[in-house]
Amino acid sequence: MVAECARTRARAGLLHTAHGVIETPVFMPVGTQATVKGLSSRDLAEDLGVRILLANTYHLYLRPGAETIRGLGGLHRFMDWPHAILTDSGGFQVFSLSGLRKIDEDGVTFQSHLNGDSHRFTPESTVDAQLAFGSDILMALDECPEYPVSHEMAREAMQRTVRWARQAAGHHARRVSELETRHALFPIVQGSTFADLRRECATELADLDADGYAIGGLSVGEPRPLSLEMVEASEAALPRSRPRYAMGVGMPAELGEYVARGVDMMDCVLPSRNARNGYLFTSVGRVVIKHARYKDDAGPLDPHCGCYTCQRYSRAYLRHLFLAGEILFAMLATRHNLRRYLDIMREIRLAIISGSFPEYLECARPAEDAG
């Protein structure tokens, strides 16, 4: 641990992986298909300073396939990425298939959204797939219930998640004992929006003495205050000495709120997805670039941002690219939005280290939209 906030649960630390040391708190860009849409590995690593990103087991398992990736030297070589990679278990995607999957005590059988072929995920098989990728951090298979859900159904999913986590941990321990490289495994806390289930799940998973812990099942439609409440319930029962990862969160103004509740790692598709849709995050609020007010605006997207997009191009030009449907817009906008998220995380870390995090958090409340 580098520093801790005396008035919140926030802390700054160092996460050691086989592909480098990562300063936390950290935001991880989402590279679902072994790519962050619109950006090259060079853009991410050299221009933006990204040191860890996320890839998706479900999608990569289906195409091009875990064994294909293994045969091509693993995910790092396949996508030309020199730093750390975290892969999720694919559970969230599978359980989102609704009518195309069937759950049993040993795993889940599902149909591919690509061609309808039948596949099966188990706690062991998802560990094997992620080891084939060469992931630095693996996620244990979990069951992510829909929102809203009854307490009874949430309990069943939570208990199954704990059983699967134990199976995954045992299989992971056997597999990595045969490997020279290090691959961490994080089990995932579930329990929907029920604090008692969250605490129970976290307590059970803490007994696994895992490398780190994820808090899943958030950002699935629940109100944001409830999401933060579930993080608090989960975090209180997790070992303070291990990293905590809140999956799939959040908006720029929310990042500090999760950190204040003891979260070290976050990921979200919002910066890249919203960028492609013309919704840009700046230090003075959001910019919806299609608005007519930017037609003749010669100023930068964000006057306080040092990214390539803001240093070189005007709002008027970005608006033109967006309305014309040019690919360059998605590239420039994604670069900026990710830079905004990464800058926020650097500001948060600096505030924790300097002892000014509570004041930073107060000042970081949502700004008025730029329009």
249 and 105 fall within a common domain: yes
User: Which of 225, 248, 268 is at the close of a domain?
Assistant: 268
User: Which of 268, 303, 334 is at the close of a domain?
Assistant: 268
Please give the model's pTM, rounded to 2 decimal places: 0.97
Domain count, the chain: 2
188 and 301 fall within a common domain: no
Q: Does a structural domain hold residue 336? A: yes
- What does the DSSP assignment read for 139-188? E-------SS--HHHHHHHHHHHHHHHHHHHHHHHHHHTT-SS--EEE-E
Residue 52 exposed, middle or buried by CB count within 10 Å (0-12, 13-18, 19+): buried
256 and 349 fall within a common domain: no
Q: What CATH number does the domain containing 169 carry? A: 3.20.20.105
Q: What span, in angstroms and rounded, lies between the C-alpha atoms of 159 and 222?
A: 21
Q: What span, in angstroms and rounded, lies between the C-alpha atoms of 147 and 142?
A: 16
Which residue has 């045992």 as its token pair? 170
262 and 289 fall within a common domain: no
pLDDT at residue 367 in the model: 54
Task: Please state whether 34 falls in left (phi above 0), alpha (psi between -120 and 50) or beta.
Answer: left
SS in 3 state form for 49-112?
CCCEEEECHHHHHHCCCHHHHHHCCHHHHHCCCCCEEEECCCHHHHHCCHHHEEEECCEEEEEC
Q: Does a structural domain hold residue 368? A: no
Q: Does a structural domain hold residue 370? A: no
Q: What span, in angstroms and rounded, lies between the C-alpha atoms of 303 and 367?
A: 15
Residue 215 exposed, middle or buried by CB count within 10 Å (0-12, 13-18, 19+): buried
206 and 354 fall within a common domain: no
The residues annotated with a catalytic role in the active site are: 88, 267
Question: In 3-state terms, what secondary structure has residue 348?
Answer: helix
Question: In 3-state terms, what secondary structure has residue 323?
Answer: helix
Q: What span, in angstroms and rounded, lies between the C-alpha atoms of 10 and 5?
A: 5
202 and 223 fall within a common domain: yes
* Closest of 101, 89, 272 to residue 164, by C-alpha: 89
What phi, psi does 91 have (nearest 5°)? -60, -45
Q: What span, in angstroms and rounded, lies between the C-alpha atoms of 284 and 290?
A: 17
Buried b (16+ CB within 10 A) or exposed e, 82-120: ebbbbbbbbbbbbbeeeeebeeeeebbbbbeeeeeeebe
165 and 191 fall within a common domain: yes
Q: Are 168 and 123 in contact (CB under 8 A)?
A: yes
User: Which of 233, 268, 303 is at the close of a domain?
Assistant: 268
Run of H or E including 325: none
Q: Does a structural domain hold residue 36? A: yes
* Closest of 90, 191, 190, 166 to residue 132, by C-alpha: 90
327 and 359 fall within a common domain: yes
Q: Does a structural domain hold residue 113? A: yes
Q: How far is CA 88 from CA 85, 159, 256, in A?
A: 10, 19, 23
183 and 44 fall within a common domain: yes
Domain that includes residue 357, residue range: 276-363
* Closest of 157, 126, 134 to residue 58, by C-alpha: 126
Q: Does a structural domain hold residue 371? A: no
Residue 173's Cβ-side half-sphere holds a number of Cα atoms within 13 Å equal to: 9
Q: Does a structural domain hold residue 111? A: yes
Q: What span, in angstroms and rounded, lies between the C-alpha atoms of 172 and 177?
A: 8
207 and 290 fall within a common domain: no
- Would you give per-residue pLDDT tens digits along the chain (371 residues)? 899 999 999 999 999 999 999 999 999 999 999 999 999 999 999 999 999 999 999 999 999 999 999 999 999 999 999 999 999 998 889 888 878 899 999 999 999 999 999 999 999 999 999 999 999 999 999 999 999 999 999 999 999 999 999 999 999 999 999 999 999 999 999 999 999 999 999 999 999 999 999 999 999 999 999 999 999 999 999 999 999 999 999 999 999 999 999 999 999 999 999 999 999 999 999 999 999 999 999 999 999 999 999 999 999 999 999 999 999 999 999 999 999 999 999 999 999 999 999 999 999 876 546 66
245 and 305 fall within a common domain: no
264 and 281 fall within a common domain: no
